[in-house]
A and B are shown apart, each in its own frame.
Chain A
């Protein structure tokens, strides 16, 4: 999209919302927020509000999709119609189908699927309000909800994006930066090993910029990881402690 003349960085190097280049937006995470789901998480990330719910492991429907060797994961990223400026048509879009696919594949690397053959684990994420970076917010919330559901995992999955604005690599793009910036680079990692389990990119990176963007996004995800752990500890702390 063409920039109508918005300056994404001021003369002091500050961004539109006052952040520095390598600063995250404010994030709050709360685990165990839904009554019926086996595990759940509410997450606010800048102007994003997402709610994740996990059901299962449970019976596979339809049955012929059951895998005799491992659990099947279903991931549904869903934009609420009122979450964006121009109403989003209810139901899956091409965008949400692609996001759901790569997010599911990221979680499949982390979950011990072989522990639950012939079952299905449903991960549903509702984006209630969107302000750039929803796939990262959704996946970060989903992995907390999976942990809240007690599903064994190699590690949490933590997502964070880097991008490029005014020729500089920046952490965690906001709406205007996403629209008028020069690149968007969402990744997700398993923080213990810093291995990348989700990676998408569109825009323009030189080799040097790719390296800086990888470092920036991984550092950002490590900060988010601390908040995920804090939310889970908070959920399971014993009264009076």
Chain B
């Protein structure tokens, strides 16, 4: 057991009993996000980028683009590729090396939110059908880990893609120094992650709450209030009514957050 884990093991009972009595360590309501800050165009060399601060959690998302062959089953569409790295500066428990199951789950949940919301008009990213299309590569870089990487990463990806500009393509060679048209985006998917502690659900958990949780549910919601991705994780169980209730809260909360941070 890592040193970090032992500390949380000690704090866990205090966090849990406080939550079960209806309060949170930082005084927030159960369905409040922490203060959110989004800085777009943070990395000028990237085609799009966003630094997201969600409480003390910091995630930097960069979008790069290149061209390549399309997949056989989608000859007239660009490709979306999503990757997440939990770099070792972000927490004492993160180690260098290939992504573990947590980083893979994070990347795949971010990917599903973007892909299934049909946020990017991939057909507009076709250069020559069956031959050459744009690849949109979203890299999530976790910089400081104080819980809820899912919501921070999805928010960062959405904000970064909204400010992404496609570089110039001349005779199939990319000129990265000349950014041209904005990426064709239609939606701004944003997620709400709730951790479950006993029978209580808390939006936007910090690290202590995440370490004390039984499990969690992430719901990614589009501007029209439709669900486009969901992921349950951890060791907990939900009744059908719980899922419906959390969906309603997520629609409301992601709506408020979208209005605040996504500039169209």
Give A residues with C-beta under 8 Å from B. 1-2, 94-95, 97-98, 100-102, 105, 108-109, 183, 185, 190, 193-207, 210-211, 214-215, 218
Contacts and interface: CB of A to CB of B under 8 A. Distances in A.
Interface string B102-119: 001101100010011110
Given A97-B101, A105-B234, A214-B244, A195 B229 contact: no
Contacts, number: 102
B235 A109 contact: yes
Nearest to B227: A205
B95 interface: no
B264 interface: no
B230 interface: yes
A-B CB proximity, top 7 nearest: A195-B237, A201-B230, A199-B232, A202-B116, A205-B227, A108-B235, A202-B112
B227 A210 contact: yes
A32 to B, nearest CB: 28
A106 to B, nearest CB: 8
Nearest to B123: A2
Contacts of A211: 240, 244
Interface residues of B, number: 37
Contacts of A214: 240, 243-244
Nearest to A182: B116
A100 B244 CA distance: 26
B169 interface: no
Contact of A109 (B116, B237, B239): B237
B194 interface: no
A97 B104 CA distance: 8
A196 B235 contact: no
Nearest to A64: B1
Interface in B212-264: 215, 217, 222, 225-240, 243-244, 247-248, 251
B248 A197 contact: no
A204 B116 CA distance: 7
A101 B232 CA distance: 11
Contact of B101 (A101, A108, A109, A204): A101
Contacts of A1: 73-74
